């Protein structure tokens, strides 16, 4: 299931989807690390560990200097999950 960045703080929704025990792809959009951590914890608490994180930008088309690709490494280090 693909979770939009607007739903990353909707914990009841994340828990509902996590219970389906299918892979979850989470867009991070304008989320901070704390919000991402809370979302991941909520999903894992439901027994789902098949989580993938997408580093996303909220501006389209995005200028190269605003995409902050270094955030991918930060997300990988912080959560030890696949990030793209």
Grade residue 51 by pLDDT with cuts at 50, 70 and 90.
Answer: very high
Sequence ranges of the domains in the chain: 2-79
Q: For position 48, what pLDDT does the model report?
A: 98
Q: The tokens of 56 are what? A: 């996303």
pTM of the model: 0.91
Mean local confidence (pLDDT), 34-42:
98
Q: Residue 26 forms beta bridges with which residues?
A: 3, 53
Q: For position 29, what pLDDT does the model report?
A: 87
CA gap 41, 8 in Å, rounded:
12
With 80 as the cut, is the pLDDT of residue 58 above it? no
Q: Residue 3 forms beta bridges with which residues?
A: 26
């Amino acid at each position: 299931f693909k979770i939009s960045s607007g739903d990353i703080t909707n914990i009841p929704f994340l828990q509902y989807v996590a219970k389906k025990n299918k892979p979850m792809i989470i867009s991070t959009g304008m989320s901070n690390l704390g919000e991402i951590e809370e979302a991941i914890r909520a999903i894992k608490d439901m027994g789902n560990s098949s989580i993938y994180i997408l580093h996303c930008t909220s501006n389209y088309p995005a200028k190269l200097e605003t995409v902050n690709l270094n955030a991918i490494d930060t997300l990988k280090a912080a959560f030890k999950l696949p990030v793209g």
